[in-house]
Amino acid sequence: MAHRFFACILALGIEMLPCMGQQPEKSDTVPTAVQWTLDAAGPTQRAAIRSVVLLYCPKTNAKGTGFLLSDGLIVTNNHVVEGCTAGEMRANPFGAQEFGFSRMATDKDVDLALLNPSKHLGGGLELGPDQDSPLGTSVNTWGFPLTYNGPAPLLSVGYVSGYVKDGDSGKEVKHIVVNGAFNPGNSGGPLFRANSSKVIGVVVAKFHLYPPMVAQIIQTMVAQNYGVMTFEGTDEHGNKKPLSEAQVTGMVLDQSYKTTQVMIGEAISVSELRSFLKKKKAEVQ
């Protein structure tokens, strides 16, 4: 009975996985859903919406959010592009045709990446001041959370609840703590003060309900073959592969882990972003 239960859940989970290789609309007209979003947004929000893109790498099947700067370059997190080359990364802008990139520069310590699009993109965002936002300041981000893939980005809102020092990489990096629903897929998105289109941070993380040890156990279960009973799963590309019972269980838990919404998130401060751009722009231009 348990075997059948997990097989059903796995089949459902795989069916729900987004098809990251799906081609965007080729039409020059703006998709209806995008137009509805633009119509409901004010001038400031429209500037942000038009500058946010869905980023993904078919090689790793990882996705995230990126945003266009006024100089024509796109910013995202390093963990969104990790394992991929510039040529392997793809971008889906709202209502426009998919495009790729010619160059990329990354900094794993700060968890930022800078990409040079393969075509010219108009518009873009400006950076805000380095001054810290007071606690309680309303902030928002546009992006592609969870399994949502557009075509228009979604708005997430919250407020500044503190500042922390991230030291996972061994380097001290200033993070803004936001009381707001940031989820996988929001990574790499721009953080704004309410009613502003000036970037004050880059969404990078959320707090998980599971402790790190549990997360590591889940990853191990997915990666290794511990079970005796085997199943066959089909991925989003139509490829079939055998799976053990432990892998099935791990995949179910992993999906739950990644899609759990927690109302605390983090963003890399604009001062860290400004320093990163100063060091890396020359590598991609």
Residue 22 lies in a domain: no
Q: Same domain for 222 and 273?
A: no
Residue 60 lies in a domain: yes
Residue 89 lies in a domain: yes
CA 186 – CA 98 distance, rounded (Å): 19
User: Is residue 159 predicted with pLDDT exceeding 70?
Assistant: yes
Q: What is the pLDDT of residue 14?
A: 33
Q: Same domain for 42 and 84?
A: yes
Q: What is the pLDDT of residue 170?
A: 72
The domain of 255 spans 2-15+210-259
Q: Same domain for 221 and 127?
A: no
Angle value at C-alpha 16, between 14 and 21, nearest 5 degrees? 85
Segment 256-272, tens digit of pLDDT: 655 555 567 889 999 99
Q: Same domain for 40 and 74?
A: yes
**Mean pLDDT (whole number) for 124-144:** 94
At 142 the three-state DSSP class reads strand
More confident residue, 14 or 285: 285
pLDDT band at 221; cut points 50, 70, 90: low
Q: Are 186 and 203 in contact (CB under 8 A)?
A: yes
**Mean pLDDT (whole number) for 46-70:** 92
Q: With CA atoms as reference, report the closest residue to 176 among 188, 159, 189.
A: 159
Catalytic residue of the set 51, 111, 133, 156: 111
Catalytic residue of the set 51, 79, 197, 269: 79
Q: What ranges make up the beta strands (E) of the chain?
A: 52-57, 62-68, 74-76, 90-93, 101-107, 112-117, 126-127, 138-143, 154-166, 173-180, 190-193, 198-206, 230-234, 240-244, 265-269
Structure tokens that stand for 66 in this block: 């990126």
Q: Same domain for 88 and 141?
A: yes
> Which helix or strand (DSSP H or E) is residue 51 part of?
helix 43-51
Q: Same domain for 78 and 89?
A: yes
120 is known as an active-site residue: no
CA 280 – CA 268 distance, rounded (Å): 16
Residue 24 lies in a domain: no
At 60 the three-state DSSP class reads coil
Tally of structural domains, the chain: 2
Q: Same domain for 241 and 167?
A: no
CATH number at residue 80: 2.40.10.120
175 is known as an active-site residue: no
Catalytic residue of the set 51, 133, 156, 187: 187
More confident residue, 56 or 7: 56
Structure tokens that stand for 78 in this block: 């390093």
Q: Are 116 and 22 in contact (CB under 8 A)?
A: no
79 is known as an active-site residue: yes
